[in-house]
């Protein structure tokens, strides 16, 4: 069944509310922001990209950022000098899981992270506890309560729904357990002084729990180095003759919709569609290709920023097979658009938010068969129409930037900071 169509003009209003004020806003002082990242930062997946690019955008605005995270993970190359990464002690030295998804050992890691955040807060006295994910908000809330004499702002940065994501990974099958976690999720949503959601759909769900309609949409933005929409006279590798390529980039976890993509590839092979299939991302050990499509797919893992840039410049069409009902943001879609790629995805509020109604009406699918039909049509587009689409998607991607998101964060932080000191 098709997801109910949502007016993206209304959705964009959430994103741009106060944007003019943000662009004119001058920070009265440099803030020390302690980002709580209950994850093995940095591992190159969507959650980590959001954390990194928000931190970098705030750092570019002159603020100091400390990222408190797990004992595993890498330091991103070229990290801004205003950003410091602090890790918990390597007590669980055997824990090496970098992919997303629940794990009972994370309870211990989050306890250690809470202690780390408490120590940093006592030593450095940050103005803002910027808490990523539900676990981060819970940790920040505990630290703020323990240091209640400090006037720290507790900001919640929600990337997606807690219960929805746990269920997508195969957990919470028993109704009583699911009800318990639903209750916990509602409590956590109410904890922060200010709350940010990665998509309008998530905002609407959170507003019902906070009962204040004060959640601000903080959209993802492209991480791919964008080309100007006016630079369309420069042809790139995707215009070369030969087999066209269809690309998926991102995580190999069950909630990313790869099983659906496998069905699309099988339909293409049965139809005799001649193209090159590329699945790029990680972690490699989570990818299990069905035997009937294994020889038709090129797997690239791991996927670094430079390789991502090269692959997107060479591709002809991009795919995002994630279910349309998911409430997370989608940096993947924005990267495709910033690269000037026509794309196929399933219909949903987040997809329409990023694509806009005009592009969504052309690129969003109802089901697997429709997904394949759109893909096939896009691969057969004449050169002139491909160039027109490239211009449209780049222009749409230009509406989103990490700088705008940082300005939204900054303005909200200072509103609360000034209120706390009255």
- Is 230 contained in some domain? no
Q: Looking at the domain assignment, is residue 63 inside a domain?
A: yes
Structural domain includes residue 198: yes
* Contact of 64 with 33, CB cutoff 8 Å: yes
Biggest CA–CA distance in the chain, Å, is 69
If one counts the domains in the chain, the total is 2
Residues 269 and 291 in one domain: yes
Both 349 and 408 in one domain: the answer is no
pLDDT score recorded for residue 3? 36
Same domain, 320 and 381: yes
- Give pTM, 2 decimals: 0.85
Residue 153 lies in a domain: yes
Per the domain annotation, does 3 fall within a domain? no
State the Cα angle at 35 between 34 and 38, rounded to 5°: 135
| Residues of the domain holding 262 | 237-397
Do 211 and 253 belong together in one domain?
A: no
Q: What is the Cα–Cα distance from 200 to 16, expressed in whole angstroms? A: 12
CATH number of the domain that 252 lies in?
A: 3.40.50.2000
CB neighbour list of residue 7: distance below 8 Å, 6 or more residues apart: 357
* 15 and 98 in a common domain: yes
Instruction: Please list the pLDDT of the chain residue by residue as tens digits (422 residues).
Output: 333 344 444 444 444 444 445 555 666 789 999 999 999 999 878 889 899 999 999 999 999 999 999 999 988 888 999 999 999 999 999 988 877 777 889 999 999 999 999 999 999 999 999 999 999 999 999 999 999 998 899 999 999 888 777 776 667 777 888 888 889 999 999 999 999 999 888 998 899 888 777 899 999 999 865 444 444 443 454 555 568 999 999 888 877 899 999 999 999 999 999 999 999 988 888 889 999 999 999 999 888 777 888 899 889 999 999 988 777 777 889 999 999 999 999 998 889 999 999 999 999 999 999 999 999 999 999 999 999 999 999 999 999 999 999 999 999 999 898 887 76
Please answer whether residues 394 and 340 qualify as being in contact, where contact means their C-beta atoms are separated by less than 8 angstroms: yes
Residue 29, Cβ neighbours under 10 Å: how many? 10
Please report the pLDDT score of residue 418 as a whole number: 81
What per-residue confidence (pLDDT) applies to 390? 94
> Are the C-beta atoms of 328 and 202 separated by less than 8 Å?
yes
d(CA 397, CA 386): 16
**Domain check: are 304 and 346 in the same one?**
yes
Q: Is 276 exposed, middle or buried (0-12, 13-18, 19+ CB in 10 A)?
A: middle
| Cα gap 280→332, rounded to integer Å | 12
* Same structural domain, 175 and 195: yes
Same domain, 173 and 259: no
135 and 243 together in one domain = no
Task: Assess if residue 66 is contained within a domain.
Answer: yes
Angle at the Cα of 256 from the Cα atoms of 246 and 158, rounded to 5 degrees: 125
Residues 265 and 148 in one domain: no
- Together in a domain, 212 and 297: no
**Domain contains 227:** no
Query: Do both 243 and 211 map to the same domain?
Result: no
Examine residue 229 and state whether it is found in any structural domain, yes or no.
no
């Amino acid at each position: 069944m098709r997801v109910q169509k949502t007016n993206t003009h209304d959705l964009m209003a959430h994103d741009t509310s106060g944007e003019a004020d943000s662009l004119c806003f001058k920070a009265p002082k440099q803030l020390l922001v302690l980002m709580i990242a209950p994850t093995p930062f940095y591992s190159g997946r969507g959650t980590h990209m959001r954390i990194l690019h928000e931190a970098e955008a705030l750092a570019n605005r002159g603020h100091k950022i400390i990222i408190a995270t797990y004992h595993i993970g890498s330091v991103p190359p070229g990290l801004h000098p205003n950003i410091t990464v602090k890790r918990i002690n390597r007590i669980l030295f055997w824990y090496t899981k970098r992919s997303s998804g629940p794990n009972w050992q994370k309870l211990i890691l989050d306890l250690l992270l809470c202690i780390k955040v408490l120590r940093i807060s006592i030593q450095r006295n940050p103005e803002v506890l910027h808490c990523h994910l539900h676990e981060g908000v819970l940790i920040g809330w505990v630290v703020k309560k323990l240091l209640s004499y400090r006037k720290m702002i507790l900001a919640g940065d929600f990337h997606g729904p807690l219960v929805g994501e746990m269920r997508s990974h195969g957990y919470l099958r028993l109704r009583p357990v699911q009800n318990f976690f639903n209750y916990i999720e509602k409590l956590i949503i109410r904890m922060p002084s200010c709350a940010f959601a990665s998509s309008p759909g998530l905002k609407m769900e959170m507003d019902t729990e906070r009962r204040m309609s004060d959640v601000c949409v903080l959209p993802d933005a492209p991480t791919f180095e964008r080309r100007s929409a006016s630079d369309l006279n420069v042809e790139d590798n995707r215009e070369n003759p030969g087999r066209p390529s269809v690309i998926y980039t991102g995580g190999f976890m069950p909630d990313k919709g790869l099983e659906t993509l496998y069905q699309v590839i099988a339909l293409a092979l049965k139809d005799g569609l001649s193209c090159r299939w590329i699945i790029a991302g990680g972690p490699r050990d989570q990818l299990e290709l069905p035997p009937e499509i294994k020889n038709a797919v090129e797997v690239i893992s791991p996927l670094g920023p430079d390789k991502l840039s090269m692959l997107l410049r060479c591709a002809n069409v991009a795919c995002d097979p994630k279910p349309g009902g998911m409430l997370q943001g989608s940096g993947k879609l924005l990267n495709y658009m910033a690269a000037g790629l026509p794309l196929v995805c399933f219909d949903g509020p987040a997809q329409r938010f990023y694509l806009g109604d005009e592009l969504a009406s052309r690129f969003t699918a109802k089901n697997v068969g429709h997904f394949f039909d759109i893909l096939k049509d896009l691969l057969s587009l004449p050169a002139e129409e491909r160039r027109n689409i490239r211009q449209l998607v780049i222009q749409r991607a230009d509406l989103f930037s990490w700088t705008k998101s940082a300005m939204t964060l900054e303005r909200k932080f200072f509103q609360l900071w000034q209120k706390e000191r009255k």
